[in-house]
Structure 1
């Protein structure tokens, strides 16, 4: 039966549903021994070759005409439903022929960023400031979207594109995380290190844009660049899962200066499980802390700095750790609130992006001394 089902799936994927319906009307009246009467039903040889395989397998399986017709109709309906659920559009930068309807790269980037409700992952070999796109990313962060960016970290010929981007993100896009492909994870050879050359963006595992265009003004407006926008279907979820799996496996990691330096024999700092952190223990320097991102179902490792009472409160949107009965990690926001009877004023602190949104309350009198336990080092 499996071989019959596989053949039917191949058949319906290349035929209009009306053609399949006409085939089923004829097949319903036949027995398996009469299946040869369907030979040559279609107008093209490739379609008839697939049909021949199907009816030979039908004769071998021996199911009735009604059952065979039902299999054809069910497979056709499922295929067409999936096709309607998935939309593929051509995206283009460069000269416009005015003969083919296409979308512009910057327009699609902004549309996908604006559509993100929970997660946004962007990949680019180079990223030079594009004001409209960075404004859209900033707006997404404000809405609580978990924004991640995978960039190439090895500038060439004395350029400083990557370092300029990291400094700009840390200053202008607080809450976004830059990922890199560490040098010690790449196969180096006589030609040097391979590159992170993917250009893509995926929102909520539902919409994805795969393109040849880097995030530069030239790629958006002047170069000839092409790509496809996948709305729905399997591609966005598969791309998102691939990127998250690379985080889990350690193939790509949240950026820190140590990942930008060629590897040495040193094993590097020890990863501390977030559950092992102790509010009363004194820590020095940066800590590599591992925790489970329950929202994305991946294990994360980030570099944090433990805060002291002399440190300023990290800006809203920063990734922080708050210790209590259970350690909380997320991008935090706070808002001053008052109880319904007006007798109590407090601050509500919410943690987003790493698990179900958690909130704690800090009394107004305690707020001047409130600090998260640690903040991510950007």
Structure 2
């Protein structure tokens, strides 16, 4: 039965709900698994045909009634597409392209999260330089009432690990934003740095990336990340960052 369930999941995950429902109806008209080979005409492409062939093979091995398999397909399709609608994950890539796989660019992804924010936005980065498009998006967010918070690496003069004072610059550019620093690192984290690069809006949309807020990261470097819309991850990430401030692990400067 396990193999049959896996075959059902494989098929519905690559089929629109209406196509899965159509297949379920066809299966419901059959007297049993012995007639499963008559379904192969349903497949519209080689990949679907492969998934369907596997399903038929496992159905014949399990030998369950037609209506039971039809119900499994409808139930699995409904559950899969409902879960997919709740959380969407998209690959983000900056740098050389293979031209074979479509990906979003780092700057596009970051701008999308910033522009989607309505109430709260939290961004972290090791270094930050003046990127006109990002700064403009942050200013737009503040203008529409978004509380913008940023965690940045402190300069060497303030106990951090970079030569430039990105925190002072950001405070001057975005005076109404909350700028945080990881000041008291304790014995356990001596020498540690703010290497997290994330942006999260309203607990529901986040970008997790290898890219700092620099022009090279947006345009030249090979950087990878993911955009996540919906589900528990953006919520947990946003609450975790804010909890770091509440517990004074990071402090507003």
With structure 1 as the length reference, what TM-score do the two structures score? 0.50
Runs of at least 5 residues in structure 1 that lack an aligned partner in the other structure:
257-377
Contact 2:200 2:238 in 1 (8 A): no
Q: How many residues align?
A: 240
Structure with larger Rg: 1
* Aligned residue in 1 for 2:45: none
**Residue of structure 2 equivalent to 1:139:** 140
1:215 to 206, 213, 216: 213
**Could you tell me how far 1:69 is from its partner in structure 2?**
2.0
Match of 2:54 in 1: 48
Shift of 1:79: 2.4
Structure with greater proportional strand content: 1
Aligned to 2:185: 183
Return closer, same or farther for 1:228/1:44 CA change in 2, 3 Å cut-off: same
Q: CA RMSD in A?
A: 4.2
> CA 1:224/1:238 → structure 2, altered by over 3 Å: closer, same or farther?
same
Does the alignment pair 1:159 with 2:165?
no
C-alpha distance after superposition, 1:57-93 (max 9, x if no partner): x84xxxx644542342133134235546655544343
Q: More deviation in 239-248 or 207-216?
A: 239-248
1:245/1:91 CA distance change after superposition, 3 Å: closer
Report the Cα distance in structure 2 between the residues aligned to 1:14 and 1:238, rounded to whole angstroms.
22
Cα deviation, residue 145, structure 1: 0.8
Alignment of 1:240 onto 2:240: no
* Partner SS for 2:124: strand
Inter-partner Cα distance in structure 1 for 2:84 and 2:161: 48
Judged with a 3 Å threshold, the aligned counterparts in structure 2 of structure 1 residues 72 and 180 are, in CA distance, closer, same or farther, namely farther
Partner of 1:325: none
- Contact conserved, 2:24 with 2:73, CA < 8 A, in 1? yes
CA distance in 1, matches of 2:146, 2:24: 48
User: Alignment partner of 1:183: what SS?
Assistant: coil
Residue number in structure 2 paired with 1:224: 222
* 1:199-226 superposed Cα distances (whole Å, 9 cap, x missing partner): 2212223332222211012212222223
1:226-274 Cα distance to aligned partner (Å, 9 max, x none): 33334x342xx51332341354376774425xxxxxxxxxxxxxxxxxx
Partners of 2:174 and 2:60 in 1: CA distance: 56
The residue matched to 1:144 in structure 2 has which SS?
coil
Q: Which protein has the bigger helix share?
A: 2
Q: In 1, distance between residues paired with 2:199 and 2:57? A: 40
